[in-house]
Amino acid sequence: MTKLVLVRHGQSQWNLENRFTGWVDVGLTPEGVKEAKKAGKLLSKEKIDFDIAFTSYQKRAIKTLWLTLEALDQMSIPVTKDWRLNERHYGGLTGLNKQETRDKHGDEQVHIWRRSFDVPPPQIDKDSEFHPIHDRKYIGIDPAELPIGESLKMTTERVLPYFDRQISPFIRGGSNLIISAHGNSLRALLKTLFKVSDKDIPGFEFPTGNPLLITLEPNSTNVVSAKYLDEDRAKDLPEIPSA
């Protein structure tokens, strides 16, 4: 059986401050560092030899991966970073406090922006310091490809083609993988692996720093079993689809 681990980065500074983060490259809090180290310790009990790792361009996910692999003593495995695994881009909401945004726009509107599948937030202004064209990490990428305000649907549309082209061939070849990414980019992977509907996928949450261990059929992306390793901080999972 092939093993695939999905881990959302540990708590970030803007998670702590209750701000819309998206593509802003904030770091981990001390608690987030602890969560990442614990993720590695939990995984060490599973005795998995990983063959390759994937992560985003964002340091909270990258550092979570480093700390996890360090705890596993597997820091030598190849690591591929790609912006397509970045968090959802929150557009004009980026940097705003979530409660203050509710106070300004109303709970219902903010809920739609956060939890609908296909309603994007307002687009970010080109002059905003948070626009991706002002971040040197994305200099080599066509600006037309860079998001400026994404719904979960739009995030899924950039994550899944990358997964199909670059990640699933390793899975089908029998490699054990770990992916360190973000709540919404991982939600996109959950959607395809568990065949979750557009309506239901916004309701599934990834706890920070809690590895989701998925066992797959040999040479396949068909899910056999799945569990969060920190049971005390586990979230609900979709039903495993029938073969």
Residues 181-214: tens digit of each pLDDT: 999 999 999 999 999 999 999 989 999 999 999 9
Known catalytic residue at 87:
yes
Tell me if 21 is assigned to some domain: yes
Is residue 79 a contact partner of residue 55, using CB atoms and an 8 Å limit? yes
Tell me if 114 is assigned to some domain: no
Nearest to 56 by CA among 190, 222, 184: 184
Tell me if 185 is assigned to some domain: yes
Known catalytic residue at 35:
no
Is residue 118 a contact partner of residue 87, using CB atoms and an 8 Å limit? no
- Which of 9, 89, 131, 182 does the annotation list as catalytic? 9
Which pLDDT tens digit goes with each residue over 65-110? 999 999 999 999 999 999 999 999 999 999 889 888 888 888 888 8
Tell me if 111 is assigned to some domain: no
pLDDT surpassing 80 at residue 242: no
Chain mean pLDDT for the chain: 94
Domain count, the chain: 1
Is residue 151 a contact partner of residue 55, using CB atoms and an 8 Å limit? no
pLDDT of residue 116: 87
| 243 pLDDT tier (thresholds 50, 70, 90) | low
pLDDT of residue 45: 95
CATH number of the domain where residue 32 is located? 3.40.50.1240
Which pLDDT tens digit goes with each residue over 216-239? 999 999 999 999 999 999 999 999
Which pLDDT tens digit goes with each residue over 18-37? 999 999 999 999 999 999 99
- Which of 46, 70, 87, 108 does the annotation list as catalytic? 87
Tell me if 105 is assigned to some domain: no
| 241 pLDDT tier (thresholds 50, 70, 90) | confident
Nearest to 62 by CA among 41, 83, 31: 83
Tell me if 145 is assigned to some domain: no
Helix (H, G, I), strand (E, B) or coil at 134: helix
Counting every residue written for the chain, the total comes to: 243
Q: Domain range for residue 205?
A: 2-87+154-233
Predicted TM-score of the model (pTM) = 0.95
Tell me if 137 is assigned to some domain: no
**CB-based burial of residue 100 (10 Å sphere; 0-12 exposed, 13-18 middle, 19+ buried)?**
exposed
What is the rounded average pLDDT of the residues 134-161? Answer: 95
Tell me if 173 is assigned to some domain: yes
What crossing angle do the helices spanning 30-44 and 59-72 adopt, rounded to 10°? 40
Q: What is the biggest distance separating any 2 CA atoms in the chain, rounded to whole angstroms?
A: 51
Q: What share of the chain is helix, strand, coil (3-state, %, to 5)?
A: 45, 15, 45
% of the chain surpassing 90 pLDDT: 85
Q: Which residues are 179's β-sheet partners?
A: 6, 54
pLDDT of residue 111: 84
